[in-house]
Amino acid sequence: MLETALLSDDIDIKKAYIAQCLDNCIQKSGDYAIDFIPKQFDMPSYSTICRIVDPKDLPSRKRSDTMEGLAALVHAIAHIEYSAIDLALDAVYHFGMMPIEYKIDWLEVAIDEIRHFAMLEALLSDLGYRYGDFPVHSGLFDIARQTAHSPLDRMAVVPRYFEASGLDVNPQIIKKLKQQLQNQYILRLIESLEVILAEEIDHVRKGDRWFKYLCDIKGLDAPSTYKEILSSYRLLDKPRPHINIQARKEAGFACSELLELGAKECSEE
């Protein structure tokens, strides 16, 4: 079922299989592992819908005060949410040795991401566009492939780095959009982003929980291991201009980590 959900480009099919997988997990007692060797997929499920290009070949973003520019922005965010559906599914599919609570956590995340995508897809439709009308890159799919060998790396890189980065960027987008509150579509996008921001804190928190769980069972120091993993993927090369200290703290980050990531100040209170 997980493999079918991962390969399908139909959101309704994904949703149905995810719900069935989640129900199966909840009904079982104790831990169980997927009894097959997971496959490495060559292409993301959205490759049948979207034209995938190198990030440097993406067209420059147009102003959000035009219909096309706003649609391009909504499409870019919708693509992140679609990618996040498959990332959550892949976290279950590739790491069957993890506890049942881990599987439940990421299947619940996948359900949230489907809802986020659906909100944005509806807005995109009302703007006169569809998912797939703009080119996309496959960065999140590529990072899933690169971390498929290690649940520790996956939890560090995907929820604790990329999704946590979303906590930083989301409020900046909302701030810019609030300059155009007279636009009904802008208002809807802001409402969607606020829902996504609140729920992504929980997603990052789950990643933080399982990253620290894996560090504990391996006898590793979590903060130093996190830095080592990010360095190995060259994710510490660029400083972060905005760090959402409160959201990251709610998600499990310590002030010492946030200061090393570039926060100017942080209180543990």
> Mapping DSSP to helix (H, G, I), strand (E, B) and coil, where does residue 136 land?
strand
35 pLDDT tier (thresholds 50, 70, 90) = low
34 pLDDT tier (thresholds 50, 70, 90) = low
Exposed/middle/buried for residue 113 (C-beta within 10 Å: 0-12, 13-18, 19+): buried
Q: Which residue has the higher pLDDT, 34 or 26?
A: 26
60 pLDDT tier (thresholds 50, 70, 90) = confident
Token readout for 179 is 């300059």
Exposed/middle/buried for residue 111 (C-beta within 10 Å: 0-12, 13-18, 19+): middle
Cβ pair 251, 166 in contact under 8 A: no
Please list, in sequence order, all residues whose beta carbon lies within 8 angstroms of the beta carbon of residue 257, skipping any fewer than 6 positions away. Answer: 223, 226
Whole-prediction pTM value?
0.93
User: For the segment 61-109, what is each residue's pLDDT rounded down to a tens digit?
Assistant: 767 778 899 999 999 999 999 999 999 999 999 998 899 999 999 999 9
Cβ pair 212, 226 in contact under 8 A: no
Cβ pair 163, 204 in contact under 8 A: yes
Please list, in sequence order, all residues whose beta carbon lies within 8 angstroms of the beta carbon of residue 235, skipping any fewer than 6 positions away. Answer: 157, 161
| Other Cβ atoms within 10 Å of 200 Cβ, number | 25
Alpha carbons 28 and 22: distance in angstroms, whole number? 10
24 pLDDT tier (thresholds 50, 70, 90) = confident
Q: What share of the chain is helix, strand, coil (3-state, %, to 5)?
A: 65, 0, 30
